Amino acid sequence: MRLHRLRDADRPRIALTLDGRTIEAQQGDTLLTALLAADAGHLRRSEFGDGERAGFCLMGACQDCWVAVEGLGRVRACATPAEAGMAVKRG
């Protein structure tokens, strides 16, 4: 999945990492936006072997966008502001 920046797409850049790899994002992004507008493709993998997941409701209800952020613990990517320097792990 790749989010397509349609509007307001030239905000100050921030850098974070996903599983150790640098991801460029923009100020004001949620973690979900930051990762999926870059080339992360997905946010987690189903525990039950049925494939990748990348969120679904984007409003904190479906519980399908959990990722781990160093220092913050596990968070819903759709409801967590992306911040420069965040170290994110999938799942």
Partner 1 sequence: MRIAVVGAGPAGVRAVEVLMAAGHRPVWIDEAPEGGGRIYQRPPAPLQRNARTLYGFEAKRATALHAAFDALKARADWRPETLAWHIRPGAKRLHTLHRGTQAVVEYDAALLCTGAMDRVLPVPGWTLPGVTTLGGAQIALKAQGCGIGRRVVFLGSGPLLWLVAYQYAKAGAEVAAVLDTTPFATKAAAAPGLLRGGATFAKGLFYVGWLRAHRVPVAEGVTPLAIEGGAEGVAGLRWRDASGREHAVACDAVGMGWGLRPEAQLADLAGIPFRFDALQHNWVPVRDAAGRTPVAGHYLAGDGAGIGGAEVAELAGARAALALLQDAGQAVEATTVARLDAALARQQRFRAALDRAFPFPAHLAAALPDEAILCRCEGLRAGELRAAARADNAAGPAPEMNRAKAFSRTGMGRCQGRVCGAAAAEILAAELGQPVEAIGRLRGQPPVKPLPIAAPRPAPEAVP
Partner 2 sequence: MSTEGEVLVLGGGGAGCSAALHLAQRGVKVVLLERGLVGSQASGVNYGGVRQQGRNPAELPIARRSRELWGRLKDITGTEAEFTVTGHLKLARSDAEEAELIAYLDVAKQHDLPLRMVGRNAIHREYPWLGPAVVAGSFAPEDGSANPRLLAPALAQAARAAGAEIREHTTIVAQHHAAGQFELVSGAGETFRAPVLLNMAGFWGGAVAEAFGEPVPVKPLSPNMAVTEPVPYFIEPNLGVVGGNVYLRQIPRGNVIIGGGHGESDPAVPWARPLPEVTLEMLDLAVQLVPELAGAQVIRSWSGIDGKMPDGIPVIGPSRTTPGLFHAFGFSGHGFQLGPAIGAIMSELVLDGRTDIPLDAFRIDRFQPAA
CB of residue 65 to partner 2, shortest distance in Å:
13
A 10 A CB-CB count for 22 gives: 9
Work out whether 85 is an interface residue with partner 1 (CB under 8 A). no
Work out whether 41 is an interface residue with partner 1 (CB under 8 A). yes
DSSP character at residue 79 = G
CB of residue 33 to partner 1, shortest distance in Å:
5
CB of residue 70 to partner 2, shortest distance in Å:
12
Question: How distant is the alpha carbon of residue 35 from its chain centre?
Answer: 4
Pick from 21, 57, 84, 85 the residue near partner 1 by CB under 8 A. 57
- Secondary structure element (H or E) that encloses residue 88, with its range: strand 87-89
How far is residue 34's CA from residue 21's CA, in Å, rounded to a whole number? 13
How far is residue 17's CA from residue 88's CA, in Å, rounded to a whole number? 6
Work out whether 79 is an interface residue with partner 1 (CB under 8 A). yes
Q: Write out the residues near partner 1 by the rule CB under 8 A.
A: 1-9, 11-12, 27-30, 33, 36-37, 41-43, 46-64, 66, 73-74, 78-79, 81
